[in-house]
Amino acid sequence: MTTRILIIDDETNIRKMVGALLKSEGFEVSDAPNGNAGLLALPEVKPDLILLDLMMPPGPDGLATLEQIRTTDADIPVIMMSGKAQLADAVRAVQMGAFQFLEKPLAPESLLVAVRSAETLVRTQAENRALRAALGPQPTLVGESPQIAHIRELILQVAPTEARVMILGESGTGKELVANAIHRHSPRARGPFISVNCAAIPRDLVESEMFGHERGAFTGAVVRRIGRFELADGGTLFLDEVGDLQLDAQAKLLRVLESGEFQRIGAERSQQVDIRVVAATNRRLEDAVAAGNFREDLYFRLNVFPIELPPLRDRLGDLTALVEHLAARLRPRRPPHFSPETITALANHAWPGNVRELANIVERLTIIAGDEVSSEMVPRVLRVTAPVPSSQAPTDPAERFAEDDRSLTDRLDDFERDLITAALATGGGNIAEAARLLQTDRGNLYRRMRRLGIRGGSEG
């Protein structure tokens, strides 16, 4: 689908030159000579992106036009343009929701980079809307246990405020679900909810992932990248597994939280950002602080309002509601029935992977069952069978060596692959739990999985 762009500028030459450039790049372009004409054109053109001049005498200027655009469409990216703007004008435009501010005379390359970035945002928003529509209603906390009722109370207390929240709990307890609920019940609900898994970012890419980079900032930076902080502007940034950040990344995060400013790698100027940070971890950060692995000042910045999620084994009264909810999501038209005996069999499991592991097990049971899930199916699905050496395999090390002509690297890779696969199976497919079982961090496990070609697993 072709991206539609509306140019609002009182200079005819600007409209013609910019329009010709964008058309040559495959965009569909319309234009208007002033703010009033641009506002009147919106319903007909239905643009995906707007280029808006700041100074357009004698009618409404760009800021007034932007304000009117925002009353009808809060999401459409607007790129402001001006050759006479003051810094205060640029700051005001960004505060009002402008996507970017370009100085005239416009450099074709800079203009196209800004337009492409905005186009990426448009597509991401469209994909998110489609995904939300496909998934149906927003996920909610399921259960009526006292523990879950207390979590709901805490969410409603803190959501309307700007307080930073630290969500604590084991992997699979629903930390992102709670973060999303805080966002949806906050004044920022119409803004973006951006999630970043701190444990999954390679150490040398943390700054680029968080803050973005300019084209040419380093080898391989062939285009400008918009970082997570910038994407979350006006909304909520969820830092999952923040305890896995390295100390140098923690220092950069602390500076942004203190100043509200960040700088893309390779950029000459800092940018102001208006975000609410919600963090989560399955670690005891007090211990990490005491060990010198987590900055104490950052800990206090993030841990303003802690919410600790109970593990599934401590809220088994919600098991029936959770199972029925998960089964209905998997087979909405005709979910299978779980008998009381089946629920009892599930309740006897330790659930180290919590609700995420339960979702995995319910999906397996739903696949193998018809309309009724019997208690006899549960042990079969919960059982994890580790590879057992064949009775025919040689037991003497020298004999085993003679029968295997592979290199040391290939043999070690196979052993490591089996070990990781077994840990993933034991952890119900949860990468965080597998990393805990293997006594390593998730970043290291991710890298090893990629190297060995191991796919699957869910993030903690």
Residue 160 class from Cβ within 10 Å (0-12 exposed, 13-18 middle, 19+ buried)? exposed
Greatest Cα-to-Cα distance within the chain, rounded to the nearest angstrom: 93
C-alpha to C-alpha distance for 209 and 225, rounded to whole angstroms: 8
Specify the domain boundaries for CATH 3.40.50.300 within the chain. 163-308
**pLDDT, position 129:** 64
- Are 100 and 91 contacting, i.e. CB atoms less than 8 angstroms apart? no
**pLDDT, position 47:** 93
At 75, is the secondary structure helix, strand, or coil? Answer: coil
Class of domain 4-132: alpha beta
Q: What is the pLDDT along the chain (460 residues), one digit of tens a residue?
A: 688 999 999 999 999 999 999 999 999 999 999 999 999 999 999 999 999 999 888 778 899 999 889 878 878 999 999 887 677 787 788 778 888 888 888 999 989 999 998 888 887 777 666 655 554 455 578 888 999 999 999 999 999 999 999 999 988 899 999 999 999 999 998 889 999 888 878 777 888 888 888 888 887 777 778 889 988 988 999 999 999 888 988 998 999 998 888 888 888 888 888 999 999 998 889 999 999 999 999 999 999 999 999 999 999 999 999 999 999 888 888 888 999 999 999 999 888 888 988 988 898 888 887 788 888 888 888 764 333 344 444 555 555 555 556 677 767 777 788 788 777 877 777 787 788 788 787 778 888 888 777 776 665 5
Name the helix (H) or strand (E) containing 357.
helix 354-368
Q: Could you tell me where the beta strands, DSSP code E, fall in 206-347?
A: 212-213, 225-226, 236-240, 261-262, 271-272, 276-281, 305-308, 337-338
Please tell me whether the peptide bond between 394 and the residue prior to it is cis, using omega within 30 degrees of 0.
Answer: no
Domain topology for 163-308: Rossmann fold (3.40.50)
At 197, is the secondary structure helix, strand, or coil? Answer: strand
| CATH 2.30.29 describes domain 397-452 | no
**pLDDT, position 330:** 84
Specify the domain boundaries for CATH 1.10.10 within the chain. 397-452
Integer CA distances (angstroms), 225 to 117, 213, 271, 336, 342, in order: 8, 5, 14, 46, 50
Per-residue exposure over 181-207, b if at least 16 CB sit within 10 Å of its own CB, e if not: bbbeebebeebbbbbbbbbbbeeeebb
Specify the domain boundaries for CATH 3.40.50.2300 within the chain. 4-132
Specify the domain boundaries for CATH 1.10.8.60 within the chain. 312-382
Query: DSSP for 118-177?
Result: HHHHHHHHHHHHHHHHHH-SPP-----SHHHHHHHHHHHHHTTS---EEEE--TTS-HHH
**pLDDT, position 112:** 93
Amino acid type, 167: I
Amino acid type, 80: M
pTM for the model: 0.58
- Are 302 and 276 contacting, i.e. CB atoms less than 8 angstroms apart? no
Integer CA distances (angstroms), 244 to 285, 427, 451, 458, in order: 10, 19, 21, 17
What CATH number belongs to 312-382? 1.10.8.60
How far does CA 239 lie from the centroid of its chain? 8
- Are 378 and 365 contacting, i.e. CB atoms less than 8 angstroms apart? yes
| CA-angle at 351, arms to 182 and 243, nearest 5° | 50
**pLDDT, position 384:** 43
**pLDDT, position 124:** 76
Handedness of CA 226, 179, 325, 137 (dihedral sign): negative
C-alpha to C-alpha distance for 113 and 118, rounded to whole angstroms: 9
